[in-house]
Structure 1
Amino acid sequence: MNMEEKRAPHVLIFPFPGQGHIHQMLTLAELLCHSSIEVTFLNTHHNHKRLLQFTNIQSRFARFPGLFQHESISDGAPEDHPRPSGFLPDLTDVMKMNSIMSPHLRNLILNIRDDPGRSPVTCIICDGLMTFAIDVANELRIKSIAFRTISASCFWAYLCYPHFQDDKDLDEKALSVPGMEKENFFFRRRDLPGFSRQFPENPLISDSVLELCIKETFNSARASALILNTIEDLESPFLAQIRTKFQKVYSIGPLHSFAKNLRTATKDQTHNHNGLWEEDRSCLTWLDSQPPKSVVYVSFGSITVLTRSQLSELWHGLVNSGYRFLWVRRPGLVSGEEDSDIITGERGFVVKWAPQEEVLGHRAVGAFVTHSGWNSTLESMAAAVPMICWPNSADQPVISRVVGELWKVGVDMKDVCDRSTVEETVRYVMGGGGGEMGRSTAEIADLFRKSVVEGGSSYSDFQDLVKDLKSN
C-alpha cells in the first residue's frame, strides 16, 4: 500500500458537440454517478445552454450531490454563428475546432486540480471523434478512455476502410465479416459508412469528413480502453475483430436501458431527456387515443436533411398505406426551407420533437420509419418495434444493413424513395413482416433486458469499467 492516499475517482466526460453523442455520454455520466464516481460533464457553451433550456438535467443530477458538475468551453465559433441542423459544428472544420478546444481542456483540468474544493480529474472519457483529448490526458498523466457512439459494426467498418477499393457498382460485395460465414452476411459498397458517398442534398458529406472519421477511429487506439454502447451477444463478431486492435473494450449497452433499470430500482420517476430540442409531449396524449400497434412513428433524427421531393414521396407513401402516423418534423428537416405545409392530414400527428424513448415504448406504435442512427436503433430494438430504415449518412447505411439482413428486425430501404415502395414497405412491416420479424424483435428485446441486469454481459462490463476507474 502506497504511503500516498489513493485519489478518489473523478471522470471528465467530453462528448462531441452533436445531439446523439451528448445523449449517450450524459446517460453514462448518470450511471457513473449511481456508482459513486464523481463526474464533470464538459460541453460546448452553445450546447450547454441548450441542455439547460430544454432538459431537466439540473433536477436529474441533483440526486447526486457532490458527484456531478457542468463545465463548458468554446467550440471556436462565435455565439451568433448559425450552427448547421442538429447544432453540430461544421464537420469539415473539426480539426480547427479541436486545436482551439485543446488548450481550453488542458487549462480546465489544471484549474480543477488546483481547486481545493474539488478532486483532481483521474480519467478523461472522450468522444472518439475528439481524440486530441487523449493527447491532453497523456501530457497530464491522466488515464484516457475513448467512447464511440456508433455501433461495433460501423466502428469495425471504419477500421477496415483503408482497404476498400473505389468502384461504381454499389451492389458489389465490399466487406466480409470473419466469423459470419454461416450466415452468409456481408456488406455491399452501398452499405459502407455514408461519408464515403456523395449526397448533393447533404452539405455534411465530403472527403475530408471521411478522412477525419477514419483518422479518429485509428487514433482512438491510443487511449487505454474503448467504450461502445452495444451488446456482446448482438455484435460479437464485430467486437471480436475490434478487440484485436484495442487494449480493452467495454461493451456496456444499451445505456438507456441501464439507466431505466436503475431509476426503476430506486423508484425514481424522473423523465430522461438528453436532447438539444424542446420535446412536445402532446403526442403521447394523441397516442393514448390510438388502437394498439396502429401507428407508424417517423423520425429522421437531428441532422438528416431531406429534399422537398423526398419529403413528398415519403409523405404520400405513408398516407397511401392507410396507417396512422406520428411524424417528427424538426426545423431544418427540409433543405432550403424553414417550413412546409406538406405534412398534414387527419390520420397524422406532427410535432417538432418527440420524447422518443416513451413513444417507442407506447402500445400504439407498431413500426418506426428511421434514419438508422444508433441511438434510435437501440431504442427501437429495446422496445421490440420493427424498423423501416432510410439511412442518409455516417454510420446509418451500415446499421440499416445489419438491421435488415443480419438481425432481421426491420427492412433496409436505403437509396429508394418513391411513394409506392414506401407504401408497400409500411404495409409489410405493420402487417408483421411475415412472422420472422416479430420473432426477431421479441428475441432481441429480451436479449437487451438480460444484458443490463446482474449476470448480463453489459452489466459485467460496466462493473469492470467502474472497478478500473476506481483503481487509479
Structure 2
Amino acid sequence: MVTSGSYGTNSENPITCIVADGVFCFAVDIAKQIGVPLLYFDTISPCGLWTYLCLPKLIEAGEFPFTGDDLDEIVVIAPGNEGFLRRRDLPGFYRTKDFSDPNIQSVLKENRNLPLAQGLIFNTFEELDASILSEMSKICPKIYAVGPLHTHFGMGKNSGKIKIEWGSRSFDSRQSRGNENSPRAMDKDTAKFILLS
C-alpha cells in the first residue's frame, strides 16, 4: 500500500495514521518511515496485556524465571495487581525456564515497541480497568478505553458509532466514515484532533 504509492503523501488519500494490533511490532518502523502517528489497538484485555508488560520488571526483580512449582505464590512485582495476582494467573509461557523461548522473546519485543506508539486503544471501559489503565498511562500517556465494543453495534441508528471523549473535546467514529457501510481513511485534521488533544 505505502510502497506502491497508492496512499503515499502525494496521493489523493494519503495515510495519516496507522492503527495496528499491539503484536505487530513492525508497525513502529513503518509509521516512523512514512512519518505518521501510530496507535496500537490491543484486542487482549488491559489486564492481560499488563501481565506481558510486567515481564521485564519480573526479570529485573529475580522473580522470573520462577523457582519452585508453587503456582499459587503471589507475584509481587505487578503494579495495579498487588496482593492478588498469582503465578497461575499469568500466561502459560511464563512457566518456562528458557529465556530464548519464542513467546518470551516476542513479549520482550512488544515491551520495547509499545511505548513508542502515540496512543493505545482498548476494548474496555474506565470503571472496569481503572487501576491497570492508570499504570499503562505511565508507559503511553494517551490511553483510549472505547469498549465494550459489542455495545456499539446492532443498536439501530447508533450502530457502529464509537465516541472517544477527553477534556471538553470528542471524536465521533462517524467522522472517519463516508457512510454507514463504507469505511474510508481518516483525514489529517481528524487524526491530529485525536492525537494532539
TM-score (norm 2): 0.70
TM-aligned CA deviation for residue 225 of structure 1: 0.9
- Aligned to 1:174, the other structure's residue is in SS state coil
Match of 1:171 in 2: 72
Kept in 2, the 8 Å contact 1:131–1:146? The answer is no
Distance 1:248 1:464 in 2: 14
- Per-residue deviation, residues 369-403 of structure 1 (Å, max 9, x unmatched): xxxxxxxxxxxxxxxxxxxxxxxxxxxxxxxxxxx
| Runs of 5+ unmatched residues, structure 2 | 174-188
Q: 1:237 to 1:226 in 2, by over 3 A?
A: same
TM-aligned CA deviation for residue 150 of structure 1: 0.8
- Per-residue deviation, residues 53-73 of structure 1 (Å, max 9, x unmatched): xxxxxxxxxxxxxxxxxxxxx
Pairing of 1:336-355 with structure 2 (within 5 A): none
Q: 1:195 to 1:173 in 2, by over 3 A?
A: same
- Per-residue deviation, residues 63-95 of structure 1 (Å, max 9, x unmatched): xxxxxxxxxxxxxxxxxxxxxxxxxxxxxxxxx
Match of 1:265 in 2: 157
- Tell whether 2:165 aligns with 1:460: yes
Distance 2:46 2:78 in 1: 12
Kept in 2, the 8 Å contact 1:179–1:237? The answer is yes
Distance 1:465 1:124 in 2: 18
Match of 2:182 in 1: none
Match of 1:107 in 2: 3
| Runs of 5+ unmatched residues, structure 1 | 1-104, 199-205, 273-451
Q: Which one has more relative contact order, counting CA pairs under 8 Å at least 6 apart? A: 2
RMSD, matched Cα: 3.2
**Letter of the 1:149 counterpart:** T
- Tell whether 2:136 aligns with 1:252: no
Kept in 1, the 8 Å contact 2:46–2:133? The answer is yes
TM-aligned CA deviation for residue 242 of structure 1: 0.5
**Letter of the 2:87 counterpart:** R
Kept in 2, the 8 Å contact 1:113–1:120? The answer is yes
**Letter of the 1:469 counterpart:** A
Kept in 2, the 8 Å contact 1:196–1:207? The answer is no
2:118 is aligned, of 224, 232, 242, to 224
TM-aligned CA deviation for residue 251 of structure 1: 0.9
Kept in 1, the 8 Å contact 2:74–2:84? The answer is yes
Distance 1:177 1:146 in 2: 22
2:137 is aligned, of 225, 243, 267, to 243
Match of 1:135 in 2: 29
Q: Figure out how many residues of one structure are paired with residues of the other and give that number.
A: 167
TM-aligned CA deviation for residue 468 of structure 1: 5.3
- Per-residue deviation, residues 400-438 of structure 1 (Å, max 9, x unmatched): xxxxxxxxxxxxxxxxxxxxxxxxxxxxxxxxxxxxxxx
2:16 is aligned, of 122, 134, 153, to 122
TM-aligned CA deviation for residue 113 of structure 1: 2.5
TM-aligned CA deviation for residue 127 of structure 1: 1.1
Rg larger for: 1
- Aligned to 2:39, the other structure's residue is in SS state strand
Pairing of 1:351-362 with structure 2 (within 5 A): none
- Per-residue deviation, residues 162-220 of structure 1 (Å, max 9, x unmatched): 23321221111114665667xxx51111111222236xxxxxxx921222023213311
Q: 1:217 to 1:106 in 2, by over 3 A?
A: farther
Counting aligned pairs with the same residue, the percent is 34
Q: 1:463 to 1:207 in 2, by over 3 A?
A: farther
